[in-house]
Amino acid sequence: MAHPMFVDSHVNLHSEKYAEDLGEVMTRAREAGVGTMLTISDQLSSTDAIKTIAASDPDIWRSVGVHPHHAKDYADLTAQTLIEMAADEDVVGIGECGLDFYYEYSDRAAQEAVFRAHIAAAQETGLPLIIHTRDADDLMRAELEKAHGEGAFVPLLHCYTGGPDLAEAALKLSGYVSFSGIISFKNAADVRAVAEATPLERIIIETDCPYLAPVPMRGRRNEPAYVVHVAEKLAEIKGKSLEDIAAVTTDNFFRLFSKARPPKEAS
């Protein structure tokens, strides 16, 4: 049997941390069985760099969006701008966007306004909304539920570290939850509990590289090949085989990001 295929649903390949050796990073990902990656927009000024990376490989997809850390620089962002950018064939999601009240690099009003523009773009395009949420569970839940009442969209809680209530609320809105290497961290029992409670058919996996390298790579620069360690930990939490976790999370990714196409040899 061929070894399992994984999808890394959240990579930041335009990070300066890959400036020297991106080609080698990609080779290691392929060797580890990572067949598809979604490289994420942190701000619109990164778009050209991200486009170039996605254009270099038919199995790298991309998103368009503004991270809440950068909301202050895009305070007048409109849904229309995102909708137009999302028309490109290789754009499969809106985000990463959301609310971060832990660092609060952008003030809350700017974060909320920019987040709402992303929601409207997801409602209009039908693309999944890739959400960063930190220390903002109650407001995030309220925003999602209110907006969903006005027009459907599919939320993805990426690199989830929030509480069970927000995860449950997102699932009720037909959403998905993505877990990163954090589930392997010693002090992350609460995140493991959420992973255990989340139905497997609504879970995808990610590295969020270059950040948050999973055990046993803790302390190193993270890279897409390490998504296998996330899958191993999830397999342990769920009492499943690694092959099962690979298959289910890969299927879930392509169901959620339906504009993305599976690799030719896998389809």
- What integer pLDDT is reported at residue 266 of this predicted model? 53
Which amino acid, residue 204? I
Stated pTM of the model: 0.97
Mean pLDDT, the chain cut into blocks of 10 residues (267 residues total):
86 98 98 98 98 98 98 98 98 98 97 98 98 98 98 98 98 98 98 98 98 97 98 98 98 98 76
Residue 63 to residue 5: CA distance in whole angstroms: 21
Residue 71 to residue 114: CA distance in whole angstroms: 6
- What integer pLDDT is reported at residue 267 of this predicted model? 47
Can you tell me whether residue 253 is helix, strand or coil? helix
DSSP 177-242: EEE-GGGGSTT-HHHHHHHHHS-GGGEEE---BTS-PPTTSTTSPP-GGGHHHHHHHHHHHHT--H
Is residue 191 within 8 Å of residue 158, measured between CB atoms?
no
Q: Which fold has domain 6-256?
A: TIM Barrel (3.20.20)
In 3D space, the residue among 69, 131, 135 whose CA is nearest the CA of residue 102 turns out to be 135
In 3D space, the residue among 219, 183, 173 whose CA is nearest the CA of residue 204 turns out to be 183
- What integer pLDDT is reported at residue 47 of this predicted model? 98
In 3D space, the residue among 133, 135, 230, 240 whose CA is nearest the CA of residue 182 turns out to be 230
- What integer pLDDT is reported at residue 265 of this predicted model? 64
DSSP 155-185: EEETT--S-HHHHHHHHHTT-EEEE-GGGGS
DSSP state of 104: -
**Phi, psi dihedral angles at 162 (to 5 degrees):** -80, -170
Instruction: Please report which residue ranges of 95-173 form alpha helices under DSSP H.
Output: 108-125, 137-150, 164-172
Question: 146 exposed, middle or buried (CB, 10 Å; 0-12, 13-18, 19+)?
Answer: exposed
Residue 91 to residue 64: CA distance in whole angstroms: 7
Strand order in the sheet with 91-100: 6-11, 34-39, 60-64, 91-100, 129-134, 155-157, 176-179, 203-205
